[in-house]
Amino acid sequence: MTDRPRPRARAIVVGEPLIALLASGSAPLADVETFGRHVAGAEANVAVGLARLGHEVLFVGRVGDDGFGRAIVRRLRGEGVDVSGLTVDPDERTGLLIRERRAVGPSEVIYYRAASAGSRVAPADVDAVAGAFLHADWLHVTGITPALSDSAHEAVLRAVALARANDVRVSFDVNLRRRLWSDARAAERLRPIAIGADLVFGDPDELAVVAGPGTSGDGLEAAHTLRAGGAGSVVVKQGAAGATLVAAGETRLSPSVSVGRVVDPVGAGDAFCAGYLAAILDGHDAPTALRWGNGCAAAVLSVEGDLTGLPSPAELARLVGGDGNDTIR
């Protein structure tokens, strides 16, 4: 039997999609009366970001057999994401987060994801789509999924093992969630994933936790520590300052794309990952990947909701410009 032709860029993403209820007005959560409903979740954001930039993406995870779960499946499918690996679980509910919006200071976020359908993702869910790894170019995972449950952690490890067995490159976004576990527990589970990845994303604080004691500051020391442990390249996400790539023989800073007014900062880091990966999958170099990542992040900062601002190729081209060599398809 002959394998089907390998797609130009095929990505697999493992994680938990959520429904986010975002306060309609800027006020404390106790005073908010109306909310907008959005599909959210770090991995879903990356999957949709890649799909909008023209890449085939398979999502592996679980949602509940409820209205929220069905809304997620429909939205991801409508965005062009392959949801054949997204199981609808009849026994558990879809994960939910509720977030206020404040003009000053951090916004309060409440999660209802304990024992959610997404937390039940397991190695069997990954094995069910094992054939996709034969034709994949990339696997993307985050540090959120291993925090959800033992089975979710094992699912990520199984996906990474399948990727390695099939020469699929692996990216890992730390995405530290302190509401889910302690720094010590996070480091214990996430460090092995990080040092085994081809590409690691994280902000300075997240990278310091995963790299271990004695690494702090701007994230560069942590990045070098992870690379010394076995990680391929590390991208330090630095917010308004941009992002720095630490790779073999190279440390490169790329400035952020200016945003006149930040409407909603949530999801910008995931958008960065999507833009960076899309550029690499399209065969571009690291400077272009950094520029695409910063452009996607800026697009998301300027609108409400995690998915809304993820750009099309034409929108991204307007944001980042180019030197004539980095065609956005």
**Which active-site residues does the annotation give?**
270
What is the token pair recorded at 265? Answer: 């900062």
| 180 alpha-carbon distance from chain centroid | 17
What is the token pair recorded at 235? Answer: 């991208």
Alpha-carbon span 301 to 263, nearest angstrom: 6
Listed residue (81, 74, 76, 54) closest to 315, CA to CA: 54
Alpha-carbon span 297 to 256, nearest angstrom: 8
At 40, give phi and psi (nearest 5°): -145, -170
How many of the other CB atoms lie within 10 Å of CB of 327? 12
Which residue's entry shows tokens 């800026």?
A: 298
Alpha-carbon span 108 to 303, nearest angstrom: 19
Range list of H helices, the chain: 42-52, 67-78, 123-127, 145-148, 150-165, 183-195, 204-211, 220-229, 268-281, 286-301, 313-320
In DSSP terms, 62 is beta-bridged to 87
Listed residue (255, 256, 266, 277) closest to 301, CA to CA: 266
Alpha-carbon span 205 to 222, nearest angstrom: 9
